[in-house]
Amino acid sequence: MQMLYHLFVSAIFTCVVTANSFSEHDVELTEREGSSSRSVSFGDEATHIQTRRPERCKVFPGDATWPSQEEWNRLNTSLGGVLLNPLPPAAVCYRTSPVFDTAKCDFLLANASRTTFYLDDPVTILTQWPQGNTCLASRNPTGNCTQGGFPVYVVNATSVKHVQAAVNFARNTNVRLIIKNTGHESVGRSAGAGSLSIWTHYLKGFELLADYKQPGGNYTGTAARVGAGLQVYEAFGHALRSNVTLTAASCLTVGSYGGWITGGGHSPLSSLYGLGVDQVLSLQVVTANGRAVTADPQTNRDLFFALRGGGGSTYGVVTSAIVKAHPPINLTIASFTFTLGATTSTTPGPDPTITDKGAFWKGFNAVFAFGIPTVDAGGYLWTNGIRGSNTSFTMQARVQMPGKTPTQAAEFVEPLLKTLNDLGIPVAIDTPTTQVYSAQTGGTGGGPGNGRFASRLFPRAAYEDPTLFAAAMAAVRAAVEDGYTFHGLNMAPTLQAAGFPGPTGVNPVWRDAVMHADVFDTVNMANITSRQFAAAKARLDRHMDALRAATPGGGAYINEADLSEPNWQSAFFGRNYEDLVKVKQARDPKQVFWAPTTPGSEGWAVQGQSEIPTQNGRLCRA
Ligand SMILES: Cc1cc2nc3c(=O)[nH]c(=O)nc-3n(C[C@H](O)[C@H](O)[C@H](O)COP(=O)(O)OP(=O)(O)OC[C@H]3O[C@@H](n4cnc5c(N)ncnc54)[C@H](O)[C@@H]3O)c2cc1C
Ligand SMILES: *[C@@H]1O[C@H](CO)[C@@H](O)[C@H](O)[C@H]1NC(C)=O
Ligand SMILES: *[C@@H]1O[C@H](CO)[C@@H](O)[C@H](O)[C@H]1NC(C)=O
Ligand SMILES: *[C@@H]1O[C@H](CO)[C@@H](O)[C@H](O)[C@H]1NC(C)=O
Ligand SMILES: *[C@@H]1O[C@H](CO)[C@@H](O)[C@H](O)[C@H]1NC(C)=O
Ligand SMILES: *[C@@H]1O[C@H](CO)[C@@H](O)[C@H](O)[C@H]1NC(C)=O
Ligand SMILES: *[C@@H]1O[C@H](CO)[C@@H](O)[C@H](O)[C@H]1NC(C)=O
Ligand SMILES: *[C@@H]1O[C@H](CO)[C@@H](O)[C@H](O)[C@H]1NC(C)=O
Ligand SMILES: *[C@@H]1O[C@H](CO)[C@@H](O)[C@H](O)[C@H]1NC(C)=O
Ligand SMILES: *[C@@H]1O[C@H](CO)[C@@H](O)[C@H](O)[C@H]1NC(C)=O
């Protein structure tokens, strides 16, 4: 009933509020508010700082120029009280902390990562080491808990006005500014010592736009306006109720419209509909001068280009987006696993174990070779190559076929199963599973980890070249035998799949890629010494160099990558790099926004770092 009413109404009005309206979200900072207080005045008016020589460093707590308590209080007043100064969540585990609480610490250690606790925490980042490991949860920690690379203040933004005031304040006072949405980022781009953080998590608006025409663009049809803070599971909930599909990351707690769209954004629907950047039709952005602007193919085209793949935390703060809403679709998945072990299970099934090492690695390669037919059929091949022990290895595979029935998907994987069976790997799958893509539920979970990984985008030309493919597979095998987990995602987000979205800042290598793969290290970065880190880095670099050599013309996905990626400018952004730096320089001449390995970030560096590149230090010009 609700749905019918809803569709009926959408046919009449262009825009229907289904839930989480934008009325509070859309409140902006007025000219009067801007000029009432120097510290939140707009960039085009605040002359007191513009006339000064550029500072060598961002101000840091303890500096004479660090804003006074009165100034922070005034900011809080301008913000209507949403300014927080949060302690690290694990402070409750430290006896010397004023918030020491054994029960709360036990909750962190036992249960917090099974709830939304960390996702709703203003400072948590899900990979901890970039913060400096200054306050790890532990039952009897040694040392004291310090703020480290966590921000000093956080604006819990629920409106455009909050974002504008925060940007103006940071620019006018020279305080380091960071943006955190969910904190899924893994190299520290949503952390920063001595910073003010804009926390976009509660920008959760949603509106279905039944009949949207993109200004100056090619798209007409159903779309949705989405708040920057929506997580995948929340976007899916809205999509399901609206009988549409919004493509999103596989992990249901990732932020759909913060880091995912600004860095690229892959999904199981990428071979059908392109990347996250290709979903975006228009953006609402707060720029470095504090102004709220629209970016689309007609207005602020430079921003529209750069914000679709040219990196988060660089050109402005996205507060909301208008994205394509596709028709409902099912995701059908055929899953199987096979293992090389000490004993054989001869019964055919979805997860046999074999003892023939040669057959195992031939089967392993056959699964990757099946990536090409999979992406050409609009699918997404998910794989994990894992070392169990020195003599036991496992290949996990999920052939994900959007829009196919279970029968069609079973027929589709038949040739791969035959190849494996002929090798003596008795894989036999049960009926593939199917469900409405947007019906995936479960947005809880996720706690901070402390791992490290590198990644590679594999161009089709290399993948289809028998010599290069053999070299790539040899490199993959060497890495897996050395204990790394190789996580492959075959997809083909071509320009055609993307619907010819016009110029986008995303690495052009994506358009001809057929696989993005992560190589996960087992190293625990929690208590690692500089020396251990250097050794771990050298070992991973060796494997990555072999993969790079076998994938000429490839690159790496900025959103899932190694901070120490060599030549990151071209690896992450390809031939778009120089254009992205131009947008950065034009839009953020005072360098209000900064995050490592984003366009133009070379001019600054975090001070006092050992070999481990964390965000726990003062940010100064390099
Ligand atoms: C478990 C897991 C699964 C993942 N699965 C996928 C996947 O399936 N597909 C995929 O493509 N990626 C995936 N990723 C990577 C993910 O896309 C990135 O981590 C992404 O940066 C997360 O964005 P966020 O907004 O959730 O996180 P954050 O860490 O909060 O933000 C990431 C970056 O974007 C910036 N940023 C955030 N919000 C804004 C904003 N509103 N305006 C401007 N800049 C902003 C931040 O400053 C930071 O630099 C996964 C990551 C993890 C940890
Ligand atoms: C901001 O103001 C609110 C409401 O007055 C208060 O609860 C909060 O503690 C203040 N924040 C800071 C950082 O002082
Ligand atoms: C963790 O959750 C379990 C199951 O709900 C509960 O029994 C236990 O008391 C919880 N422990 C802590 C420390 O919160
Ligand atoms: C890291 O070291 C600290 C202090 O020695 C200890 O409390 C903590 O348990 C260690 N963490 C890990 C993950 O090893
Ligand atoms: C930890 O904090 C306590 C109390 O605040 C202080 O006395 C002590 O010197 C600190 N220890 C270290 C190692 O900084
Ligand atoms: C942030 O704001 C949201 C929305 O108003 C609120 O629900 C949440 O409790 C706030 N979080 C913190 C840590 O203050
Ligand atoms: C949902 O949308 C599809 C196609 O877009 C349509 O065929 C179907 O009837 C719709 N379902 C409902 C319940 O409106
Ligand atoms: C696995 O092999 C490595 C190096 O080849 C060796 O150091 C290690 O002891 C072996 N582990 C086991 C469990 O056999
Ligand atoms: C889609 O999945 C649902 C179960 O979630 C199922 O009932 C329906 O039949 C599927 N549709 C198709 C076309 O496979
Ligand atoms: C519209 O589509 C054409 C190709 O069909 C493409 O070249 C052009 O860049 C697109 N324009 C925009 C603004 O997306």
pLDDT at 314: 98
pLDDT at 343: 81
State the ligand closest to the CA atom of 138.
Answer: 4
pLDDT at 12: 34
pLDDT at 568: 98
Between the two ends of the chain, the Cα-to-Cα distance in Å is 61
Average pLDDT, the chain: 94
pLDDT-derived band at 199 (thresholds 50, 70, 90) equals very high
Mutate to test the pocket of ligand 3, among 111, 114, 115, 444 (most ligand atoms within 8 A of CB): 111
Q: What is the distance in A from the centroid of ligand 5 to the CA of 130?
A: 23
Q: Please, which residues have CB within 8 angstroms of residue 180's CB and are 6 or more apart in sequence?
A: 122, 123, 125, 151, 154, 190, 191, 197, 198, 199, 200, 201
Closest-CA residue to 384 (of 336, 346, 430): 336
pLDDT-derived band at 49 (thresholds 50, 70, 90) equals low
Domains in the chain, ordered, with CATH? 2-18+37-192 (no CATH), 330-575 (3.40.462.20)
Which amino acid, one-letter code, is at 38? R
Tens digits of per-residue pLDDT, 316-358?
999 999 999 999 999 999 999 999 998 877 688 899 999 999 9
Tokens matching residue 360: 């195992």
Full DSSP string of 473-508: HHHHHHHHHTT-EEEEEE----HHHHT---S--S-G
Atom of ligand 9 nearest to the CA of 405: 14
Q: What is the distance in A from the centroid of ligand 3 to the CA of 107?
A: 7
Q: What is the distance in A from the centroid of ligand 7 to the CA of 243?
A: 6
Q: Is the pLDDT of residue 52 over 70?
A: no
Asked whether 71 lines ligand 2 (CB < 6 A), one says no
Asked whether 76 lines ligand 2 (CB < 6 A), one says yes
Give the residue whose CA is nearest to atom 2 of ligand 1: 251
Q: Is the pLDDT of residue 2 over 90?
A: no
Q: Do the beta carbons of residue 521 and residue 414 sit within 8 Å?
A: no
pLDDT at 348: 86
Measure the CA–CA gap between 401 and 395, rounded to whole angstroms: 19
Q: Do the beta carbons of residue 207 and residue 200 sit within 8 Å?
A: no
pLDDT at 603: 96
Asked whether 83 lines ligand 2 (CB < 6 A), one says yes
Measure the CA–CA gap between 178 and 431, rounded to whole angstroms: 47
Conformation bin of residue 350: beta by default, left when phi > 0, alpha when psi is -120 to 50:
alpha
Give the residue whose CA is nearest to atom 7 of ligand 4: 141
pLDDT-derived band at 20 (thresholds 50, 70, 90) equals confident
pLDDT at 430: 85
Q: What is the distance in A from the centroid of ligand 3 to the CA of 406?
A: 39
State the ligand closest to the CA atom of 142.
Answer: 4
Q: What is the distance in A from the centroid of ligand 6 to the CA of 124?
A: 15
Give the residue whose CA is nearest to atom 6 of ligand 9: 435
Q: What is the distance in A from the centroid of ligand 4 to the CA of 12?
A: 60
Farthest-apart Cα atoms in the chain, separation: 78
Give per-residue burial for 109-143: e unless 16+ CB within 10 Å, then b.
eeebbeeebbbebbbbbbbbbbbbbbbbbeeebee
State mean pLDDT over 387-414.
96
Q: Is the pLDDT of residue 230 over 80?
A: yes
State mean pLDDT over 252-274.
98
State mean pLDDT over 199-223.
97
State mean pLDDT over 207-231.
97
Q: What is the distance in A from the centroid of ligand 6 to the CA of 156?
A: 6
pLDDT-derived band at 220 (thresholds 50, 70, 90) equals very high
Q: Is the pLDDT of residue 605 over 90?
A: yes
Full DSSP string of 288-319: TTS-EEEESSSSSHHHHHHTTTS-SSSS-EEE
Give per-residue burial for 181-196: e unless 16+ CB within 10 Å, then b.
bbbbbbbbbbbbbbbb
DSSP-based three-state secondary structure for 113: helix
Q: Please, which residues bridge with residue 367 across strands?
A: none
DSSP-based three-state secondary structure for 538: helix
pLDDT-derived band at 18 (thresholds 50, 70, 90) equals very low
Q: Do the beta carbons of residue 540 and residue 468 sit within 8 Å?
A: no
Give the residue whose CA is nearest to atom 1 of ligand 7: 243
Give the residue whose CA is nearest to atom 8 of ligand 8: 390
Give the residue whose CA is nearest to atom 9 of ligand 7: 243
Q: Is the pLDDT of residue 610 over 90?
A: no
Q: Is the pLDDT of residue 508 over 90?
A: yes
Q: Please, which residues bridge with residue 334 across strands?
A: 399
pLDDT at 583: 98
State mean pLDDT over 557-580.
98
Kindly report the length of the chain. 622
Measure the CA–CA gap between 195 and 589, rounded to whole angstroms: 19
State mean pLDDT over 540-548.
98
Q: Is the pLDDT of residue 620 over 70?
A: yes
Residues with CB under 6 A from ligand 3: 106-107, 110-111
Give the residue whose CA is nearest to atom 53 of ligand 1: 184
Q: What is the distance in A from the centroid of ligand 5 to the CA of 159?
A: 39
Mutate to test the pocket of ligand 10, among 212, 500, 504, 506 (most ligand atoms within 8 A of CB): 500
Q: What is the distance in A from the centroid of ligand 5 to the CA of 58?
A: 27
Asked whether 229 lines ligand 6 (CB < 6 A), one says no
Measure the CA–CA gap between 232 and 252, rounded to whole angstroms: 5
State mean pLDDT over 432-461.
94
Closest-CA residue to 186 (of 567, 539, 453): 453
Atom of ligand 3 nearest to the CA of 111: 1
pLDDT at 8: 35
Q: Is the pLDDT of residue 4 over 70?
A: no
Mutate to test the pocket of ligand 5, among 95, 144, 146 (most ligand atoms within 8 A of CB): 144
Atom of ligand 10 nearest to the CA of 216: 13
Q: How far is CA 391 from the centre of its chain?
A: 34
Residues with CB under 6 A from ligand 4: 136, 138, 141-142, 526-527
pLDDT at 183: 97
Give the residue whose CA is nearest to atom 2 of ligand 3: 111
State mean pLDDT over 256-272.
98
Measure the CA–CA gap between 314 and 316, rounded to whole angstroms: 6
Give the residue whose CA is nearest to atom 4 of ligand 9: 435
Tens digits of per-residue pLDDT, 138-179?
999 999 999 999 999 999 999 999 999 999 999 999 999 999
Q: What is the distance in A from the centroid of ligand 3 to the CA of 236?
A: 29
pLDDT at 11: 33
Q: What is the distance in A from the centroid of ligand 4 to the CA of 141?
A: 7
Q: Is the pLDDT of residue 15 over 90?
A: no
Mutate to test the pocket of ligand 2, among 69, 73, 83, 153 (most ligand atoms within 8 A of CB): 83
State the ligand closest to the CA atom of 503.
Answer: 10
Asked whether 84 lines ligand 6 (CB < 6 A), one says yes
Measure the CA–CA gap between 409 and 602, rounded to whole angstroms: 47
Tokens matching residue 596: 């490592």
Asked whether 158 lines ligand 6 (CB < 6 A), one says yes
Indicate the DSSP class of residue 57. Answer: B
Tokens matching residue 215: 């200004």
In 82-207, which ranges are continuous DSSP H helix? 102-110, 160-173
pLDDT at 578: 98
pLDDT-derived band at 14 (thresholds 50, 70, 90) equals very low
Q: Is the pLDDT of residue 535 over 80?
A: yes
State the ligand closest to the CA atom of 331.
Answer: 9
317-324 vs 330-340, strand pairing mode: unpaired
Q: How far is CA 268 from the centre of its chain?
A: 15
Which amino acid, one-letter code, is at 363? G
